[in-house]
Structure 1
């Protein structure tokens, strides 16, 4: 029966393996052999700044990275305990700073500043074993006595294409490969004490050399060399898995041996403790899921930066309510408006539009004018509402890099019709600040800017600016 093989963090040119990315939430219990590369550089695109020469991730990316690492650490531990073979290829230490969720505040009132507290985090946090890797590179290696018998066939096949990217500490358990000179550990073999599972830490291999790819039409495809390598590699890995199981000192417990007839008193006590621990874990998981739901809802206003259609409309309504308006979507048997909002100083009617890679054009302004006229025909409306066009132009581009979000024709028409054009990025800037601190004066200034603004409206700058430069929580401890 063929082995079920999963690769995480790299792909092989073979249909005999299944690939998952580092962000996957797949369970490792469904696989016989897991090949894992802990690489987190894909998170580096979500950093807010550099700190001490390393990327400092924003709050959202910090949460996702930590969640991914915790997932793999838990899954790898459970897989080896369940008798699976997990082989980890050791890359260089990738270090970033992540947000702790804490803030420090200095100053008072409008002079108050907020500082993010960060801590150092590495890709090695995804492994269920404490390592103290030090970045270095080399290719001169040899088998240690511990790994000579089991690893010899694999090493004979792939030693020439293996390269160590880190040195491990001398107290790492199960050292199986060392540097040829100096006997510095670069690989380890950790056998489960309760199952036939193993965690094998091996030097890196370049799984993507240039000769593994060729251009075909508009895409890259695997070459024959890549397919040949994958076949050899899978064969060696399957043979290694077989050798590990053959030499396992642990005999899997027969089903009858777990019967209550053979239970020891210490086991009864520990089973009770385990049940209690599992209950606490379940409660913690429920709390985590509840917080995740709240977190998702709390981030809805970020839709102002990148959404269109109904999600953008909902976010605009929430933002306007945050600014102190009474805002809601309107729909009856005859009319449907994206948003109607008011405050003691006036009543307004809004239309929302998002464009992927274009500015908002004059068509939406025409639609807005028709809506204002239609609204005026309602018996309870005595005077025209002020028209406001909310635009999220170039919505897939980083806000700071966007061009003017309304066309010149749209801006000219808005000025002549006394209509306000508000980029939704402006709304986000305001509500992001108000989410940090209640400020009635600032809210009133924003409402006034919308009420009197004509053409493209820029909302007042928040009086408090969050410091981009983070502050270290404590001295970092690299895993």
Structure 2
């Protein structure tokens, strides 16, 4: 076990002494001594990505998430190095996308109105706190720069066979460390901190997952013995690299007594006051950001209809029904518990919710639903049976376009004999999404009527037509 606390982002090692965090996490790096960082943004490019000028163009939501994530790591890496940590950044292939700037311009009026959506180019290297000026080039033949520190030379010589470069660099304010074998183009560099003994070490990419490192056991991917041996060697080497880089630094960490007011220069006092004001502004901006993030989370809660199960799915269904004009609540008393009881001027209904990971919703819940209807009718305040509705989120883990029929044939046939409406929750989401967009009371009433009158799977009405609005993407220099 290493005495140093080591974290990896974007790569993993088969070592119990190393903690791995996801690229999308908001973890702080100040808890660690050594950081291994590999900026991969493939998770943002999986579903629903359009293209602009031959490159992926992210939606406004995806754009916000990617930018927030990259800015988080850029800030964390910068603070970690300034605090005396060693950060090793491995450079994978440069992945360029277009992100939404949030800016819109409008021209024309009425049916001829045109909305222009402004985008800007962005890439995975935006998460690195250094201006690398990368140029795409691939190769594996490299050498150490003549001025490279002995510490890096020892590390490089031990693991050079695992390195491949994907970009050429033109770094500023750095010591070039690794060059192409011919042409002497930089592919690796060291950025020593000016305020601490920390260093940002930018290196070519490492293949952390060769075939020999992973095998399948009980239908799961597991590390091999070779992966464990490699990880132990790698961890030991980066600990030595960290120690050597610190020892080679000319800086002495300022003791606490030297930074007291007694030894401050006059400009420092002014700058400290300005820094405090800036920190207050950042704190205010952060609070505003957190409030907006919470509002965004609340507004996006209905997307649970697409992928949730259990209580979260029930809560999303209740919220969706309320949007369409029903009064809706879960029901529980001494003898009965129903997922949702909902009603409007058109009628009263009782619903049960079921989410399935990788299969269609079967007949099981219909029996529970019929029992609920009977128990409800036994209550003195109820005069007529409620309409039974089964809400199903089938194949919830899969993207919507990869799902098949949400209810089994037996479930659909049984629903016909039990006067039961079957609501696919992704269909409910699309109906509510259309209503929120148009705010058409007649459309909401038609959606309510579709649930009340249907026997078998509910087919919601199409959204009301509106004036066509063209939307065009254009590149802009604004980021």
Alignment TM-score, normalising by the size of structure 1: 0.88
Q: Which residue of 2 aligns with 1:409?
A: 410
Q: Which residue of 2 aligns with 1:18?
A: 19
SS in 2 for 1:46: coil
Q: How does 1:327-346 map to 2 (within 5 A)?
A: 327-346=328-347
Deviation string, structure 1 residues 45-74 (Cα, Å, up to 9, x no partner): 234434443334455544333232122111
CA contact (8 A) 2:23 2:69 kept: yes
Using the alignment, how far apart are the partners of 1:294 and 1:229 within structure 2?
46
- Deviations along 1:128-161, one digit per CA (max 9) or x if unpaired, are 1222212211123333344255533333333444
Equivalent position SS for 1:64: helix
Deviation at 1:290, TM superposition (A): 1.8
Match of 1:253 in 2: 254
Aligned partner of 1:355 in structure 2 is 356
Contact 1:172/1:188 (CA < 8 Å) preserved in 2? no
1:9-30 superposed Cα distances (whole Å, 9 cap, x missing partner): 2223444433333233332222
Q: Which residue of 2 aligns with 1:69?
A: 70
Match of 1:240?
241
Comparing 73-82 with 63-72, which one deviates more in the overlay? Answer: 63-72
Structure 1 residues 116, 163: CA separation in 2 closer, same or farther (over 3 Å shift)?
same
Partner of 1:36: 37
Is the contact made by 1:120 and 1:477 (CA closer than 8 Å) also made in structure 2? no
Of stretches 102-111 and 44-53 in structure 1, the one that deviates more from structure 2 is 102-111
Structure 2 residue aligned with 1:93: 94
Partner of 2:461: 460
Report what 2:127 is aligned to. 126
User: Does structure 1 retain, via aligned residues, the 8 Å contact 2:90–2:202?
Assistant: yes
CA RMSD of aligned residues (A): 3.2
Q: Secondary structure at the match of 1:65?
A: helix
CA-to-aligned-CA distance 1:336-364 (integer Å, 9 cap, x gap): 33222222233333232223333333343
Change in 2 beyond 3 A, CA 1:364/1:244: closer
Superposition pairs for residues 289-328 of structure 1, below 5 Å?
289-328=290-329
Deviations 1:98-136 (Å, cap 9, x if unpaired)? 444566789999999988654432111111122221221
**Residues matched between the structures, number:** 477
Distance 2:342 2:114 in 1: 32
Q: Deviation of residue 218 (structure 1)?
A: 5.1
Q: Distance in 2 between matches of 1:357 and 1:189?
A: 48
Q: 1:49 matched to which residue of 2?
A: 50
Give the stretch that moved more between structures: 105-114 or 364-373. 105-114
Could you tell me whether the CA contact under 8 Å between 2:353 and 2:390 is conserved in 1? Answer: yes
Q: Is the 8 A contact 2:427 2:460 kept in 1?
A: yes
Check whether the contact 1:117–1:470 (CA below 8 A) recurs between aligned residues: no
Which residue of structure 1 aligns with residue 185 of structure 2? Answer: 184
In structure 1, C-alpha distance between the alignment counterparts of 2:123 and 2:348, rounded to whole Å = 52
For residues 355 and 379 of structure 1, the distance between their equivalents in structure 2, rounded to whole angstroms, comes to 35
**What is aligned with 1:365?**
366
| Paired residues of 1:27 and 1:75 also in contact (CA < 8 A) | yes
Distance change in 2, residues 1:109/1:340 (3 Å): farther
**Bigger CA drift: 78-87 or 247-256?**
247-256
